[in-house]
Structure 1
Amino acid sequence: PLLCECGGVVVRVRLVVAATQGESDSKQLSPCNRNDLASVGLKFVIHSPKAEYRCTMEMWEFIGKVAVALFIARIGWSLLKGVFGSFLAAAIRLNIDVKKTGEWAVVTGATDGIGRAYAFELARLGLKVVLVSRNPFKLQNVAAEINSKYGVDTKIIDVDFTKEDIYERLESEVGKLDVGVLVNNVGMSYDFPEYFTDISDCQEMCDRLINCNIKSLTHMTRIVLPGMVERKRGVIMNLSSLSSIIPAPLLAVYGATKAYVQSFSVSLAAEIASKGVTVQCVMPGFVVSNMSRIRRPTLMAPTPTAYVKSTLRTVGIEKCTAGYFMHKIQVYFIEVAKMHFPGWILTHIVFSQLKAFRTRGHKKKEKEAKTE
C-alpha cells in the first residue's frame, strides 16, 4: 500500500508490485510507474507502520492540547463572568436599580439572618418595607430600628408560614400595595441531619417544611406578581440554597424543597421576562446566621449584610446566582465535579460530612436532655 497526495489530499492506493532480485520494491511498479503517476499530480509518500503510529500519536497529542485549552478557557470564562456579575456590572450600572421598581419591598423571614439584611439594605436604598415573620416582638424591634436608621415607612405582618390559613390575610394587606421588590426568604431546615425514616413526627415535619419552603414563596408570588405585571416593573428574589444543586442525604426533604425553589424561579423568569418583571433565584452557601450556627464571619461564610450587598449587585445580571463571589467559586467547582467525576463521589463526600453533623446533633440533644 502507498499513500499518494493529490491536490493537497492524501489518499491510499494499492499497486501491483513486481519485485526483482537486486531491485527495490518501490522501483518496479505495474501497471504504471511513479513518473506516470507524478505526471497527473500524484506525490508518493511511502507508508510504514512507524509513520502511521507517529501520526496517530500526534493526532492524540493535538486532541489533548485542545481539551486542555478548552478546560482552561472554561475556567477563565467562568471566572470572568463571576467578576463581571459581582463587581463590574454594578459599577457601570448594568444591574437593575431596585429603587425604580416600586414604592414597597416585601421581605419574608425578615427578623433574622439574610431576610433581616435584605430589609435593612432595601430600606437604605429608599424603599418602604413590609416585614413578614412569625414573631411580633422581633418584627416591632426591626421596624423601629429601620425607622430610626433610615427614616422610611414600615409595615409588619406577623404570620407563621408553616401554617396554611395565612394567605387571605397576606393578600388583603399586601395585594394593593405598589410592591416593587419581593424577597421570598422565609425557610426552615431540620434541627440536625437525620435519616428520613428516623425523623420524629415525620409527617408534621414534612408538612412544615413544604409549607414554609415551597408554599410560602409560591403563594407570595401569586399575591404580588399580578400587580407587577400590570405595572410592567418589579423584582422577585427567591432564596434557594447550594443544597439545591448537590445531593443532600440526611437532609432529603429540605434539599428537595430548595430544588423546587430553583426550578420554579428559572421557569417563571422565562415566562414573564417580556412583561418587565425580573425573577432571580439566589443560592447562598453558609453565612453567619442562627440556621447555620456560624457565629463569626470568614472568607467562605460572610455576614448576612455583606452577602446581601453582593447579591443585590447581580439583580438583572444573573438569573440564578450564588450571590457572593466565594460562593460562586463553590458552585463552579461543584459543577466541574458533576461533569468530570461519577456522581457517587460527590454524594459520598456530602453524605460523610452530614453524618458527622448528625452525630454532633444527637450528642447535643442527649446533653440537653440530661441537663433538663
Structure 2
Amino acid sequence: MELMELFFISLGAAVSIYYGVKLVLFSRMLFPKLWFPLSKSFFTSMGEWAVVTGASEGIGRAYAFLLAEQGMNVVIMSRTKVSLDQVAKEIGDTTGQKVKVIVTDFMKENVFSDIEGQLGDLNIGVLVNNVGMLPNLIPCEFLECADLNQTITNVINCNVKTMAKMCRIILPGMENRGKGLILNISSGIASIPFPLYTLYAASKVFLERFSQGLQAEYKDKGIIVQAVAPFGVSTRMASYQQVNTVTLSPEDFVKSSLQYVRAGDKTHGSVRHTVLGWLLRTIPLKVLYAQCILHSLQDYVKKKLEEQKASIPAS
C-alpha cells in the first residue's frame, strides 16, 4: 500500500512539473522582447543581403521592407516584374538600401540554376522563404480541386520544392561564414490535419518538419532556421480580410514575427496567433471535423469573397 501511494505521489509530481515547465515555456512566447531580445545590429550581423521570395506583395513585401529598414540590402523575387519593380523603387526610396529584382515563376520546373547564377557571390545573411500558393480560395475536398493533377504539381513546386531548393542554394554560404537566418513561412492551419485545405496544409507540414530538422543539423554552426506559422493576415491569399483582433496587417505581423527569431524552431509569429494555435490544438478533432463546421467554413469564405467582389467598383 505504501509503495502504491508513493507511486501515485511521484506520478502526480512528475505531471505537475511537466505541465509547469510547459506553462513557463508558453508564457515566454507572450513576452518576446523580454525573453528573446535582439541587438540593433542583429540582422546586419548575419550578412549584407536578405533574400525574400514572394516579395511583390503581402507578407513577403513586408519582410523585404522591414529587413531593409534594419540596414540590409534585399533581393526580392516573384513572377510579376511590374510589381517587383514598384516594390524595389519604394524600398530604395524609403530606406536607401540596394534592391535586386529576380523575376521567376516558382511553379515551373528548372528555375533554380538561373536563380543561383543571379545570386552570384552575394553575402546573404537572411533568407525568407515566403512564396506559396493556395490551391483554391474557397476550401473544398481534395477531389473537387480544379485541374487536380496540375494543382498537385504546382503546390509541390511552389510550397515544398522552392523552399528546399532555396535552402540548398543559400545554406552553404551561411555554413561557411558560421552565421545566418532562414525563416520558412508556414501556416497556422498546419497545426492539425485540416480538412478542405488538405493539400495546402500538408505542404506546410513538410515545410515545418524540414525546418525543424534543418535547425537541429545546423544550430551548432551558428545558423537559425525557423518555421513561422501565422493564422489570419490580411493578404490576397486571405481575400484581404479586414484587420481586427486576430487578423493582422502584413506589416504588423512581420514586425512581430521578427521579435521571435530566437524563440525556437517554430513560432506563430505573434502573441495573438500563439494563443490561437494553443486553442486550436485543444479543440477535439471530432468537433472540428463535424460536417456543420466544415460547411460553415465554406459558406464563410464564399461570403467574404462575394463581399470583396461587391466592393470593387465597376470599370
Give TM class, smaller chain. Answer: 0.7 to 0.9
Over residues 155-198 of structure 1, what are the superposed CA-to-partner deviations in whole Å (9 max), with x where a residue is unaligned? 00010111112111101011421100000000010232112112
Matched with 1:301 is 247
Matched with 2:28 is 81
Matched with 1:242 is 188
Over residues 226-275 of structure 1, what are the superposed CA-to-partner deviations in whole Å (9 max), with x where a residue is unaligned? 11101111100000111111122111111110111001000111011121
Matched with 1:314 is 260
| Pair 350,153 (structure 1): closer, same or farther in 2 beyond 3 Å | farther
Distance 1:142 1:265 in 2: 28
> Aligned partner of 1:309: which letter?
K
Query: What does residue range 176-195 of structure 1 map to in structure 2 within 5 Å?
Result: 176-189=121-134, 190-195=136-141
Greater length-normalized contact order (CA 8 Å, ≥ 6 residues apart): 2
| Pair 309,67 (structure 1): closer, same or farther in 2 beyond 3 Å | same
> Aligned partner of 1:351: which letter?
L
Q: Report which of the two structures shows the higher radius of gyration computed on alpha carbons.
A: 1
Shift of 1:77: 2.1
Matched with 1:159 is 104
Indicate if the aligned counterparts of 2:239 and 2:305 stay in contact, CA closer than 8 A.
Answer: no
Indicate if the aligned counterparts of 2:189 and 2:201 stay in contact, CA closer than 8 A.
Answer: yes
Matched with 1:106 is 51
> Aligned partner of 1:346: which letter?
L
Shift of 1:199: 1.6
Matched with 2:149 is 203
* 2:289 paired with 1:347: yes
Q: 2:299 aligns with which of 356, 364, 367?
A: 356
SS at match of 1:308: helix
Shift of 1:330: 1.0
Shift of 1:71: 9.3
Q: 2:227 aligns with which of 264, 271, 281?
A: 281
- What are the ranges of 5 or more consecutive residues in structure 2 without an aligned counterpart? none
Q: 1:263 aligns with which of 186, 198, 209?
A: 209
Indicate if the aligned counterparts of 2:79 and 2:105 stay in contact, CA closer than 8 A.
Answer: yes
RMSD: 3.2
| Pair 94,102 (structure 1): closer, same or farther in 2 beyond 3 Å | closer
Shift of 1:75: 7.2
Distance 1:200 1:275 in 2: 44
Matched with 2:64 is 119
Moved more, 170-179 or 113-122: 170-179
Over residues 12-46 of structure 1, what are the superposed CA-to-partner deviations in whole Å (9 max), with x where a residue is unaligned? xxxxxxxxxxxxxxxxxxxxxxxxxxxxxxxxxxx
Query: What does residue range 119-158 of structure 1 map to in structure 2 within 5 Å?
Result: 119-158=64-103
Shift of 1:288: 1.1
| Pair 154,94 (structure 1): closer, same or farther in 2 beyond 3 Å | closer
Runs of 4 or more above 6 Å deviation:
65-72, 361-364
Indicate if the aligned counterparts of 1:96 and 1:315 stay in contact, CA closer than 8 A.
Answer: no
Shift of 1:89: 2.9
Indicate if the aligned counterparts of 1:95 and 1:314 stay in contact, CA closer than 8 A.
Answer: no
Distance 2:278 2:239 in 1: 25
| Pair 229,350 (structure 1): closer, same or farther in 2 beyond 3 Å | farther
TM-score computed with the length of structure 1 as normaliser: 0.74
Matched with 1:6 is none
Distance 2:189 2:41 in 1: 27
| Pair 83,209 (structure 1): closer, same or farther in 2 beyond 3 Å | same
| Pair 214,131 (structure 1): closer, same or farther in 2 beyond 3 Å | same
TM-score computed with the length of structure 2 as normaliser: 0.87
User: What is the percentage of aligned positions where both structures have the same residue?
Assistant: 34
* 2:159 paired with 1:213: yes
Query: Aligned pairs, how many?
Result: 307
Indicate if the aligned counterparts of 2:49 and 2:72 stay in contact, CA closer than 8 A.
Answer: yes
